[in-house]
Structure 1
């Protein structure tokens, strides 16, 4: 990974995360107004969802003793299967002898893969609502703008998110632990780093909410509360006429392609928690 040598520390930050983009409470160690700010991008600290590392302390102690990342990934998946009874739906509360709803099979892996195929689908709505709950960052877009809270698009987003969680087995808690494991692996693999440089292909900068133009090719933008990026600039070329380059705090990486086998469809895909970011725009 590359660390950012171009993040500017000599300029005062712009106005913080707008009130319309955040909730007053969340379930992690920093409020949304801080973790969603440009200051956090410049000076990140670890983010922890309340209680997750303590509840699963035994898992992380076990992982500490495993030097091989592939073995750790397998142990983590085994732990998820056992802890959440993913192969025993009756033990998790599904009524025996009845036709099981398809959603009982939903799990963290299916959800993330669904995001990879269509971030505006049902799985995307579940993930964006999870970010709202855990980090307090409100979704800005889902198959259309969500800025009009009483609008049809927003109501459809709420419906899809609720429908995606219905009759599932502690799906949001599964995501909590996936994020904690992702942060564990990033910290273990890159103990001296705070950022990763990521790219995204776009057609127009006004596809994003611009808060301020810093200089000719740099903008301060408000990203959706969950976003896909890639580590490969050449890969980003395939998705737009311009390249959005951003230094993402490792603390804001929800998951990435190499975290678990087959987790994401895209090569070197990273799923990133949003907020205010300074970005650089370049041509192909």
Structure 2
């Protein structure tokens, strides 16, 4: 009887660490949000794939397999994006001719990444956070203010900005799908034995984040926004706050980093990271 009780107890999974209020019941990924957003995923990550993307663009990745140099692969990827999504031919993508086309047709993955780097609470940031909600099922927690109250004016503005940012664009979310898939391809190709990367963020107070638990004096378990910026340079993080958060981020949760497409971003070695529950360490210099 004792063995039976132990067996039944062992079969009960631990409660999820990702609160229900931070996730959607469905997504377009190979893992549900409750798993990919959990502390267990940070500790034991696996590959994440958006449904159908690698199959739909199999020819691109087969071509990249034959290129040994990262710079050549990056250029081929950008060329593919230009041709596939008609980025230089907006009329062919359905835009109206004779100068009457909406200005938003010029929005593309490159402008979104640049816009995020300039202001993550701007229109581009809203589009990217809505994309994470759709693809990974992780709800945004902050955008120019708290989003915890789904009836607030701030939340309605967030929805408006996200929808406005997609209006009259050419398959912008599909461009982001492929950008994420390419990022993951490059990380596996260039760092095949690595599962995590140590990243840093400067803060002034730990309560700037949603704290779920304090593990010890310097370690916290926090719920991060569904998309976040970090840097790989600890010294750079120190410029943005009195304290430094250090976090081991699964490579599977890296959406973009500034060396992925040379010339797109410059400066602080930025990494754009999908959120969820993370254990972080807070320290000073």
Partner of 2:233: 232
1:4–1:197: 8 Å Cα contact kept in structure 2? no
2:87–2:106: 8 Å Cα contact kept in structure 1? yes
SS at match of 1:200: strand
Per the normalisation by structure 2, the TM-score is 0.94
2:46–2:252: 8 Å Cα contact kept in structure 1? yes
2:203–2:243: 8 Å Cα contact kept in structure 1? yes
Shift of 1:2: 45
Q: C-alpha offsets along residues 230-272 of structure 1, whole Å, 9 cap, x if unaligned?
A: 0000000000000000000000000000000222244210000
Return the alpha-carbon distance in structure 2 between the equivalents of residues 184 and 247 of structure 1.
Answer: 20
SS at match of 1:109: helix
Q: C-alpha offsets along residues 181-234 of structure 1, whole Å, 9 cap, x if unaligned?
A: 000000000000100000000000000000000011000000000000000000
Partner of 2:82: 81
Instruction: Indicate the structure (1 or 2) with the bigger Cα radius of gyration.
Output: 2
Shift of 1:3: 39
User: More displaced, 37-46 or 261-270?
Assistant: 261-270
Q: C-alpha offsets along residues 95-133 of structure 1, whole Å, 9 cap, x if unaligned?
A: 222412211000000000000000000000000000000
1:14–1:212: 8 Å Cα contact kept in structure 2? no
1:116–1:266: 8 Å Cα contact kept in structure 2? no
5+ residue gaps in structure 2? none
Partner of 1:149: 150
1:73–1:260: 8 Å Cα contact kept in structure 2? yes
Return the alpha-carbon distance in structure 2 between the equivalents of residues 250 and 57 of structure 1.
Answer: 22
Partner of 2:180: 179
1:36–1:137: 8 Å Cα contact kept in structure 2? yes
Aligned Cα RMSD in Å? 6.1
Q: 1:4 to 1:267 in 2, by over 3 A?
A: farther
SS at match of 1:114: helix
Return the alpha-carbon distance in structure 2 between the equivalents of residues 263 and 8 of structure 1.
Answer: 53
1:4–1:247: 8 Å Cα contact kept in structure 2? no
1:117–1:265: 8 Å Cα contact kept in structure 2? no
2:127–2:161: 8 Å Cα contact kept in structure 1? yes
Partner of 1:136: 137
Return the alpha-carbon distance in structure 2 between the equivalents of residues 91 and 45 of structure 1.
Answer: 39
Structure 1's consecutive aligned runs of 4 or more residues displaced over 3 angstroms after TM superposition are: 1-9, 12-15
2:16–2:34: 8 Å Cα contact kept in structure 1? no
1:2–1:196: 8 Å Cα contact kept in structure 2? no
5+ residue gaps in structure 1? none
1:13–1:38: 8 Å Cα contact kept in structure 2? no
User: More displaced, 258-267 or 199-208?
Assistant: 258-267
Shift of 1:50: 0.2
SS at match of 2:4: coil
1:25–1:32: 8 Å Cα contact kept in structure 2? yes
Count of aligned residue pairs for this structure pair: 282
Q: 1:133 to 1:282 in 2, by over 3 A?
A: same
